[in-house]
């Protein structure tokens, strides 16, 4: 029996690699006859470059760029032939800021823009930008500024490319915008929020980036204003583009001015990593994440794996920390094993996840043996 283990990370507990290793140990403790393939996955957030390096031969490009508060830092991105792979979080992520410094009114994506410009200068014409973990709500003003745009107020004064400037934008000067035929930008994300409104970038995500209630409303109004200016100048309605609200509105803002394609993170990483051929040759697929819930059904790794497994008539098993889905209606045909069935509480589950996953792996071994006998 060929078993493919392909989980996402268990956030705050184990990397996807560690999840694979723990389940594999458990399987092999009981039965060494399984052919086990480990293929960790991600949904396009932070950690995506690690997976790209794992599956694709790349060159590591070091770069000095600006962090979300425009302080110079050392960062990097990856290149493979004419492709560049950039993590937004490595230049514009909340992990780069202290809690006291986190406020999307003041942060910018300029550093990410510098990475994109550098990659273009090195010959990249396909740029994959992984959008998870942003510290910003600037609708991509910082990136667009580095690509040549200027944002002007009603008095034709240039504005800083930060979140609080969105309300003041009256005109966008595009005369120095980098040529659109030089590259295509693939925006990799796992959300489909609109740009503004109750499900928009500011209302859903700005609080966790450090904004107060009044600042959230200001940022939401700013995104509305920015969308109106974009519509007036480009005739493109960026608000309702699926995923426009990703990473503080970056996907929406960039879509108005450059060649962009918004892609689901898990599917893109499956394609880039050669996952499909491995799934087709496997008998059983094991996937998982820390919490299997209704958010999982919106583009997360587990659901993407589930849909593929069902399409190819493969047995699908989930190994997760917790599960709030209805196995019969939400994921019919899947078998679910949870760490909380064994752990004393959530803290124990997180702290000792590896031990419990190995235990579940042993249970799985017995279960899979029964399938072989029945088959």
Going by C-alpha positions, the residue among 113, 49, 102, 37 that lies closest to residue 79 is: 49
- In this structure, which topology does domain 48-266 adopt according to CATH? Glycerate kinase, domain 2 (3.90.1510)
Q: Which residue has the tokens 């996937």?
A: 287
Burial category of 179 from C-beta neighbours within 10 Å (exposed 0-12, middle 13-18, buried 19 and up): exposed
Burial category of 244 from C-beta neighbours within 10 Å (exposed 0-12, middle 13-18, buried 19 and up): buried
Going by C-alpha positions, the residue among 285, 360, 293 that lies closest to residue 352 is: 360
CA distance 151 to 280: 49
Distances (CA, A) of 342 to 267, 281, 308, 353: 32, 32, 29, 10
Task: Render each residue's pLDDT in the chain as its tens digit; 375 residues.
Answer: 999 999 999 988 999 999 999 999 999 999 999 999 999 999 887 778 989 999 999 999 999 999 999 999 999 999 999 999 999 999 999 999 999 999 999 999 999 999 999 999 999 999 999 998 999 999 999 999 999 999 999 999 999 999 999 999 999 999 999 987 789 999 998 888 999 999 999 999 999 999 999 999 999 999 999 999 999 999 999 998 999 999 999 999 999 999 999 999 999 999 999 999 999 999 999 999 999 999 888 878 999 999 999 999 999 999 999 999 998 899 999 999 999 999 999 999 999 999 999 999 999 999 998 876 655
pTM (2 d.p.) = 0.90
Q: Domain 2-41+273-374 - what CATH class?
A: alpha beta
Report the sign of the C-alpha dihedral through residues 295, 296, 298, 300, in that order.
positive
Q: Domain ranges in the chain? A: 2-41+273-374, 48-266
- Cβ atoms < 10 Å from Cβ of 102: 18
Q: How far apart are the first and last CA of the chain?
A: 11
CA distance 57 to 269: 14
Please name the residue ranges forming H helices in 162-287.
201, 213-234, 246-255, 265-272, 275-281
CA distance 30 to 328: 29
Contact predicate 270/309, CB 8 Å = no
pLDDT at 46: 74
């Amino acid at each position: 029996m060929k078993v493919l283990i392909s989980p996402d990370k268990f956030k705050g507990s184990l990397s996807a690699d560690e999840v694979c290793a723990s389940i594999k140990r458990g399987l092999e403790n009981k039965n060494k006859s399984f052919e086990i393939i480990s293929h960790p996955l991600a949904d396009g957030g932070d950690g995506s470059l690690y997976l790209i390096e794992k599956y694709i031969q790349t060159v590591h490009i070091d770069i000095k760029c600006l962090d979300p508060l425009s302080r110079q830092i050392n960062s990097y991105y990856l290149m493979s032939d004419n492709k560049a792979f950039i993590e937004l979080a490595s230049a514009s992520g909340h992990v780069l800021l202290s809690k006291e410094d986190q406020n999307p009114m003041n942060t910018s994506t300029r550093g990410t823009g510098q990475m994109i410009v550098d990659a273009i200068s090195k010959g990249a014409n396909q740029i994959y930008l992984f959008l998870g973990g942003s510290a910003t709500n600037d609708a991509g003003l910082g990136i667009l500024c580095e690509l040549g745009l200027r944002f002007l107020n009603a008095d034709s004064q240039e504005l800083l490319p930060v979140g609080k400037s969105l309300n003041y934008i009256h005109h966008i000067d595009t005369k120095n915008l980098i040529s659109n035929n030089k590259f295509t930008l693939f925006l990799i994300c796992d959300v489909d929020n609109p740009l503004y409104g109750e499900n928009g970038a500011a209302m859903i995500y700005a609080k966790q980036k450090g904004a107060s209630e009044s600042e959230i409303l200001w940022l939401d109004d700013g995104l509305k204003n920015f969308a109106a200016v974009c519509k007036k100048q480009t005739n493109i309605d960026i608000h309702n583009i699926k995923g426009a609200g990703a990473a503080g509105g970056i996907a929406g803002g960039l879509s108005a001015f450059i060649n962009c394609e918004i892609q689901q993170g898990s599917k893109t990483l499956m394609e880039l990593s050669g996952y499909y051929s491995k799934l087709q040759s496997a008998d059983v697929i094991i996937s998982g994440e820390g919490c299997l819930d209704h958010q999982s059904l919106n583009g997360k790794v587990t659901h993407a794996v589930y849909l593929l497994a069902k399409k190819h008539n493969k047995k699908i098993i989930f190994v997760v920390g917790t599960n709030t889905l209805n196995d019969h209606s939400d994921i019919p045909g899947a078998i679910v094993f949870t760490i909380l069935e064994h752990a004393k509480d959530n803290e124990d589950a997180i702290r000792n996840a590896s031990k419990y996953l190995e235990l579940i792996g042993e249970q799985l071994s017995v279960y899979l043996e029964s399938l072989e006998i029945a088959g």
